Every structure is written in structure tokens, then in C-alpha cells.
């Protein structure tokens, strides 16, 4: 069962336009300690702004602890990292990539979390990397994504998780455990009225916590399930939960990528379209820009925002982090934001649309589906998940 804590203040942040100014303001106001985790830290205008804020903090005596994934942050290692360290920013790389073409199973075990905690007082959780909203594509509109700003009791488990991973990576790098205490404990006094939980996924104690939180909400849904997900490749258990909800009269809608930055995963997802469409589940593809969101709303009461996609790489391999929120006002706000995105930038697909697709498109989807399944098998996973 998901463990909710009452008394939080949680603010929805849409896209980098909301997120990066809020993050930079918090960093610039830091007095003692900053933790920041990200999968990608790009050397672009946004990355330079956040890097400069971290450097300013370190120069004025703030302990800055930056953890970047070794695969997603390959560009960061080559460029920005050397600029941060001389100013006193503490930088560590999670599973640093040393050989580009190495085919090792553990290469798929990435640190995909996007988290920040400043002075134990404010946290950011979501799916937004440190990268320009417009970077990496030909579209003129910003990447579609979400994060949340958190104050209150939820700071406790968020900061504990980040501190634990920082010490774990320190130990893995140096070969010995370090006494590296927090400089500022989490400020867990009530700050609002929102019930929320911090849910993570790792390869030890919390292997299925995020998936189980989703399934718990879907299984109890009465009216509506709306999921927006960049990379959607659910296992049998998740697919069946959606089908069961649709069969008992719940409106189940999926907002997925129409313009993909990883075409193979997108094509693999499309191989599942006939299954969903044949069981009363509505599908929308977002074509306004790159959809990078990983959020959901159930019954306009339960919501989640975080880094975890609904695919085997997130649910079975990567380190992920989501906030789960039990609050009508927040869920209604997120639902309204998603409905606006569907109305302005998405196209609904129907069963006849799939049948009219050229045979080459359908064969490409089938081949991509099999290749993704093969990758999962190589990593040592499969079966009903």
C-alpha cells in the first residue's frame, strides 16, 4: 500500500518554463546544502543557467551535491563537469560510461530520477531533465513535461532517498563507506493540506513500488483513468488492469507520443494499439511537440508526477522517483492541463485508423515490438512483466 503523508504544499509546474525559474530561484536562495539528481544535464542555455547557479551557491559556501547519470549525462561529463568542480560543486556520476559500444546487461540500469532538495526545505520531483525545452528536435514548441514543487512532511523521505543514493555512489566510487551527514535535516512541519507519498523504484527493496502504486489506483478507479506517458510499453499485469477498468465502465484514456525522439520505442508501442483499441481504451497521440510527461490522474482525486515511464526500462531496470498525490484540487488541475493538451495538440486514433495504415508501418511496429522484447530478455527480464 502507498504510504501517504498529510500536510504538504504541492505546486504543479508545467514544462521548463515553470520548472527552471523555480529551481534557479531555490538554488540562488540556498544557504547550506543542495542535492540535485538528473538523468541529463545538457551543455545548452538552460544547462549553463543551472550550472552557473550551482557554482554561485558553492562559491558562497553552500554544500552542493550533484549526481548525474553516466549514460544520459555523457555530454555533461565531457563539458560542464570540469567547469563545476573547481568552484567547489560536488559532482558524482552514476555508472559512468567508459566504453561506448559495450554490451553489458547492467548498462540498462540507469539513474533516471529528476530530484532536487534545497536546504531541506523545498523539493522538486518530476520528469524534466536539465535541458532546453526546444533542444534535440525540429519542433518550434517546447517539450511537454511536468514537475512538482514540494514543501512539508514529504521532504523527509525525499531527502532521505537522495542522501542514501549519494552515499551509495560515494561508496561504489571510493570502495569505502563515508561518514557524510546531512548538514540540514528535512523540514517536515505541515506546510499545506495535501496528502502525498514519495514512491521510488530501485533494484533492491523497492523493485515494484511505482508500478504497484499505479495498479492500486487503476484497480480502484470508478470513473476515469488518464495516463500521459512518453514511453508506454506496459507488461501483461498493467495491460490487464487497464482492460479490467474499461470493462467495468471506467473511461480509460492514454496520451502518448505522436512525435518521437526514440522511434523504435514509439513503433513498439504502436504494435499494442490494436489490443487497446479493441477493448474500449481511447488512444491519443500528441503531435504538438515532444511529449516527455510521465503523469496520470484517476477519478480526479489520485494523481502522480515523476520520472517513471510505463515500460520495462523504467519499471524493471532504472532508478525512478514519483510523487503520488491524493488531493482533489491538485488532480483536477493536472487533469485540466492534460485535457487542454489533448484538445489543442493531440489526435485520437480509432480501430479503423490502424487498419488503414500501410502494411510497412504495421510491420515496422511489429519488428520494433520484438526488438524491444529481445532487449528486455537480454537484460534478464520477461515473463508476465
Residue written as cell 491538485?
Answer: 330
Which residues are catalytically annotated?
112, 114, 119, 292, 294, 299
Question: In whole angstroms, what is the distance from residue 208 CA to residue 384 CA?
Answer: 13
- Nearest residue to 213 (alpha-carbon basis) of 321, 334, 292: 321
Inter-residue contact 327 to 303 (CB < 8 Å)? yes
Question: In whole angstroms, what is the distance from residue 358 CA to residue 352 CA?
Answer: 12
Residue 314: burial class (beta carbons within 10 Å; 0-12, 13-18, 19+): buried
Q: Which residues pair with 226 in a beta bridge?
A: 253, 297
Other C-beta atoms closer than 10 Å to the C-beta of 236 total 10
**How many angstroms separate the most distant Cα atoms in the chain?**
62
Residue written as cell 537480454?
Answer: 378
Inter-residue contact 320 to 210 (CB < 8 Å)? yes
List all residues 6 or more positions away from 217 whose beta carbon is below 8 Å from its beta carbon.
225, 296, 298, 302, 304, 324
HSE-CB for 197 with a 13 A CA cutoff:
16
Q: Which residues pair with 90 in a beta bridge?
A: 65
Strand ranges (E), 127-193 = 146-151
What radius of gyration, in Å, describes the C-alpha atoms of the chain?
A: 20
Q: Residue 56 corresponds to which cell in the numbers above?
A: 554561485
Q: Residue 76 corresponds to which cell in the numbers above?
A: 555533461
Amino acid at each position: 500500500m502507498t504510504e501517504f503523508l498529510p500536510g504538504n504544499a504541492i505546486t504543479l509546474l508545467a514544462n521548463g518554463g515553470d520548472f527552471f525559474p523555480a529551481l534557479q530561484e531555490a538554488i540562488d536562495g540556498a544557504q547550506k546544502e543542495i542535492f540535485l539528481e538528473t538523468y541529463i544535464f545538457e551543455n545548452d542555455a538552460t544547462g549553463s543557467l543551472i550550472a552557473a547557479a550551482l557554482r554561485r551557491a558553492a562559491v558562497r559556501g553552500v554544500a552542493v551535491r550533484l549526481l548525474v547519470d553516466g549514460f544520459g549525462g555523457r555530454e555533461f561529463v565531457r563539458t560542464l563537469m570540469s567547469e563545476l568542480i573547481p568552484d567547489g560543486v560536488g559532482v558524482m556520476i552514476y555508472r559512468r560510461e567508459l566504453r561506448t559500444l559495450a554490451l553489458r546487461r547492467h548498462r540498462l540500469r540507469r539513474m533516471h530520477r529528476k530530484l532536487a532538495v534545497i536546504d531541506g526545505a523545498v523539493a522538486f520531483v518530476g520528469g524534466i531533465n536539465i535541458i532546453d525545452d526546444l533542444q534535440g528536435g525540429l519542433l518550434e514548441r517546447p517539450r511537454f513535461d511536468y514537475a512538482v514543487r514540494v514543501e512539508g512532511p514529504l521532504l523527509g523521505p525525499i531527502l532521505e532517498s537522495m542522501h542514501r543514493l549519494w552515499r551509495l555512489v560515494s561508496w561504489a566510487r571510493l570502495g569505502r563507506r563515508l561518514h557524510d551527514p546531512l548538514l540540514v535535516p528535512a523540514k517536515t512541519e505541515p506546510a499545506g493540506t495535501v496528502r502525498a507519498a514519495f514512491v521510488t523504484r530501485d533494484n533492491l527493496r523497492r523493485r515494484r513500488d511505482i508500478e504497484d502504486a499505479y495498479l492500486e489506483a487503476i484497480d480502484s478507479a470508478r470513473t476515469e483513468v488518464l495516463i500521459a506517458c512518453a514511453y508506454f510499453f506496459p507488461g501483461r499485469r498493467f495491460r490487464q488492469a487497464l482492460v479490467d477498468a474499461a470493462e467495468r465502465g471506467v473511461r480509460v484514456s492514454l496520451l502518448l507520443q505522436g512525435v518521437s525522439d526514440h522511434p523504435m520505442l514509439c513503433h513498439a508501442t504502436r504494435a499494442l494499439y490494436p489490443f487497446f483499441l479493441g477493448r474500449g481504451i481511447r488512444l491519443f497521440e500528441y503531435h504538438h511537440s515532444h511529449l516527455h510527461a510521465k503523469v496520470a490522474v484517476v477519478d480526479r482525486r489520485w494523481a502522480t508526477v515523476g520520472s517513471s515511464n510505463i515500460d520495462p526500462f523504467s519499471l524493471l531496470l532504472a532508478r525512478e522517483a514519483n510523487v503520488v498525490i491524493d488531493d482533489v484540487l491538485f488532480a483536477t488541475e493536472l487533469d485540466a492541463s492534460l485535457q487542454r493538451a489533448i484538445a489543442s495538440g493531440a489526435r485520437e486514433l480509432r480501430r479503423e485508423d490502424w487498419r488503414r495504415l500501410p502494411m510497412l508501418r504495421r510491420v515496422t511496429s511489429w519488428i520494433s515490438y520484438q526488438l524491444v522484447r529481445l532487449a528486455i530478455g537480454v537484460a534478464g527480464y520477461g515473463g508476465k512483466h
